[in-house]
Amino acid sequence: MGEQEDLQAISGRLERGEINGAQFLEEFTRFVAAQIGCSRAGVRVFVDTSEGRALRSVAMFDATQDRMVTALDMQGAGRGLYFEHLLRDGFVSVPEAQADPITSAFMAGYLLPSGVASMMDMCFAVNGELFGTFSCEQVGTPVEWSQRQLQSLRKIAARASLTLMHVVSATVDTAPGALWETSTPNRLTTMPMPLDINDVKLPGES
């Protein structure tokens, strides 16, 4: 089964109610880690914190431990060089994360305590607005991300965004026009898992 068929199969199980939101996120991040060949793969959303905008992990799979793990917030992700590159290019690819000025803001609060040596993040946009990232990380020894890996993550992000909307919308009881208001990521990351995806509708559905 090819890359897109694998992703469609995972998304199809969610849509048919065979797996719940938490199971989808685990299967999806496992798939990304295997497809890209990285130590960790995750999904993050922007949230407002007392220290400003941050990227918060919704799900993070660690291939070295073969399990889901918790991840620290990436404080300061909503400003500086990292944010500029994410907005301009749609991605951030950094082989030497602990030495690159693009990711220097995350050194003390995230990179060092998490042991992350390399990062590759692809933006996740909803209705044209930057919502979060699909993230790949290498722990320990740095890696030079290839164009194949970058293009693969871009394709995955493009095809998975709609299905991820199902998981997000399952946590929000509101009209389609207000579905993506600022508070949505905060509610998503504080909702207990597993998520109930019964009767989930996309914007525009009756």
Q: What is the DSSP string of the chain?
A: --HHHHHHHHHHHHHTTSS-HHHHHHHHHHHHHHHHT-SEEEEEEEEEETTEEEEEEEEEEETTTTEE-----EETTTSHHHHHHHHHHSEEEESSTTT-TTSGGGIIIIIHHHTEEEEEEEEEEETTEEEEEEEEEEESS-----HHHHHHHHHHHHHHHHHHHHHHHTT--S-GGGTT-TTHHHHHHHSPSSP--TT---TT--
Question: How high is the mean pLDDT in each 10-residue block of the chain (206 residues)?
Answer: 75 87 92 96 90 91 96 93 94 96 95 96 81 93 96 91 68 32 40 32 34
pLDDT at position 169 is: 54
With 0-12 / 13-18 / 19 or more C-beta atoms within 10 angstroms meaning exposed / middle / buried, residue 34 is middle
Report the C-alpha gap between 69 and 67 in whole angstroms.
Answer: 6
Largest separation between any pair of C-alpha atoms in the chain:
50
Amino acid at 141: T
The answer to whether 137 and 40 are in contact (CB under 8 A) is: yes
Domains of the chain: 3-180 (3.30.450.40)
Rounded-to-integer distance, Cα 203 and Cα 199, Å: 13
Phi, psi of 188 (to 5 degrees): -60, -45
Question: What tokens were used for 171?
Answer: 């946590």
Main-chain phi, psi angles of 78, to 5 degrees: -90, 15
In contact, 195 and 165? CB cutoff 8 Å: no
